[in-house]
Amino acid sequence: MSPIRTNSSLNLFIIMRLFCVFLTTILVTAFSSQATEKPNILFVLFDDMGYGEPTSYRPASLFKTPNIDRMAKEGMRFTDAHSSAASCTPTRYGFLTGRYPHRIGQFGVLSTFSPPLIPKTRLTVASYLKQNGYATACIGKWHLGMNWGRPKTKGKNKNKEELKIGEKMTGGPNAIGFDYFYGFTHARNIQTIIEQDTVVKEVKPIENQPLMIAKAIEFLKESSLNKEKPFFLYFPMCPPHKPVVPAPQYVGKGGKVGKGSYSDWVYQGDDMLGQLLDTLESTGLANDTLVLVSADNGAAGREYPPLREHKASIYEGGHREPFLARWPGRIKPGTTSDQIISITDIFATCASLLGKSLPENAGEDSVSFLKCLYGQQEGPFREASVQQSGKKALAIRKGKWKLIVHGDNKRELFDLNADIGEKHNAIQTHPKIAAELVLLLQSYLDKGRSTPGKAQPLEYKISLDEVRYKKK
């Protein structure tokens, strides 16, 4: 063989080796930057929205939800996503802490003068992101308690004066990680507007949501002036929860589903989402913002087959929710995921975005679904998921199987692949599966966590062998 040919072959070999090293470096760098960059995060939470209301989830729906459907076209639509509970307060606790609300015995909802559920010492998704350089804001409905300096009385606001302009509270959003708060305690007190820690005005219920969306848009525009600092905006709106008070520009435009103006209220909620998406576009923030959209529980008193029942129920209609994600250039448009995810998983997902893991004593029930968003997840990303209802029922979901342990200790097992309507209790035909799921659920309860790691102290003990709820 001639020296010239030998040298040519050697040179080609070296060039190919260098090219491979270069390509590998580029890919590793790209993947690393993808995992550790700090995108803006916007989480929009609808209140009492049923899985079957958006047309992107139920084509036969008569509701008009063009912006939820826009999210489905421009991002990823999850078909098996769940709130952590079938009611408002517990789900919000689960989202912010990455922890199941039954761990503190919270099964019901709070009132105006209920004390805070989340102590300052508990790491939340807001305080975690703030520690990592984010500007954080909550604009909308809080419903996790505040200290108003009022004596504790039994019942829901019985014999108590209303909040007054200038009155101050502690233990609210500012105490657990939010730099800025503008909103209201809960839907029944929608007329009272709070900024930071102070009651600033009283408005008519119909005026509340226009105020909230205007403030959220203002926050986004201000954030666009300093794009070097990422933001986390949590926007928990009121629609479709009562009071049903659509603004004049929405009346008669929601599709006329049933009696009253409920469909217009749904449409107003959807339009507020659209205004936020449009603001991201107009301010140049869209490509650098992960947008997540979901709801806290099923529709109130409205069942959407094939799912069984609605808000407050341990069946799928109570906690299976629309869940959508958009991040241009990162999440492939028009994609669908059947991964089983929970609203509690948002916390760990935010940590993964930063290339970090959560401390042992935080987000004990939160598992990152970041690989799902990137289309890289193969197989289930979590062992099992747990939900609850106001009657102290617990459900554990693993694969196609869902076991329900009701508060009165009645038990049901459903194969959701074959029986999404939960009509046929399979506990007699599959007792071994039921027993395995009972053991797994009890182990989660006993360890204080459902994720790998050190067992955590129990604040509220639950034994599945005990009756936890009795009808009055």
| Helix (H/G/I), strand (E/B), else coil: 273 | helix
Average pLDDT over residues 77-104: 98
Judge contact between 194 and 184, C-beta under 8 A. Answer: yes
Question: pLDDT, tens digit, for every residue of 33-55?
Answer: 344 579 999 999 999 999 999 99
**Do residues 264 and 252 touch, judged by C-beta distance below 8 A?**
yes
For residues 315 and 433, what is the distance between their CA atoms, to the nearest angstrom?
19
The predicted pLDDT at position 311 comes to: 98
Q: Given this model, what pLDDT does residue 10 score?
A: 44
In the predicted model, what is the mean pLDDT of residues 425-446? 98
Question: Out of 32-46, 57-71, 113-127, 311-325, which region has the weakest mean confidence (pLDDT)?
Answer: 32-46
Q: Which residues of 330-366 are buried (b: 16+ CB within 10 A; e: fewer)?
A: bbeeeeebebbbbbbbbbbbbbbbbeeebeebbbbbb
Q: Output the pLDDT for position 160.
A: 58
- The CB density around residue 434, as the number of other CB atoms within 10 Å, is 20
Question: For the residues 373-378, what does the mean pLDDT come to?
Answer: 96
**Strands 394-398 vs 385-388: parallel, antiparallel or unpaired:** antiparallel
pLDDT attached to residue 422 = 98
Task: Tell me the per-residue pLDDT of 237-274, one tens digit each, with 9 for 90 and over.
Answer: 999 999 999 999 999 999 878 778 999 999 999 999 99
Inform me whether the pLDDT recorded for 15 exceeds 90: no
Q: Give the pLDDT mean for 293-301.
A: 98
Give residue 208's pLDDT.
Answer: 98
Is 250 in contact with 266 (CB distance < 8 Å)? no
Q: Check residue 472 and give its pLDDT.
A: 72
Question: CB–CB of 127/31 below 8 Å?
Answer: no
Residues forming beta bridges with residue 293, ordered by sequence position: 44, 324
Q: What is the pLDDT of residue 169?
A: 98
Average model confidence (pLDDT) for the chain?
Answer: 92
Q: Is residue 25's pLDDT more than 80?
A: no
Residue 153 has pLDDT above 90, yes or no: no
From the number of C-beta atoms within 10 Å of its C-beta (0-12, 13-18, 19+), residue 427 rates as middle
Predicted confidence (pLDDT) at residue 155 exceeds the cutoff of 70: no
Q: Is the pLDDT of residue 26 over 90?
A: no
- Cα of first residue to Cα of last residue in the chain, in angstroms, is 96
Tell me, what's the pLDDT at 162? Answer: 86
Distance separating alpha carbons of residues 331 and 419, to the nearest angstrom: 31
Spell out the residues 6+ positions from residue 438 whose beta carbon is closer than 8 angstroms to its own: 403, 405, 411, 464
H or E element in which residue 233 lies: strand 231-240
**pLDDT of 152:** 60
Determine which helix (DSSP H) or strand (DSSP E) holds 220, and give its type and residue range.
helix 205-223
Query: How sure is the predictor about 458, in pLDDT bands with cuts at 50, 70 and 90?
Result: very high
3-state secondary structure at position 13:
helix
Over range 419-423, report the average pLDDT: 98
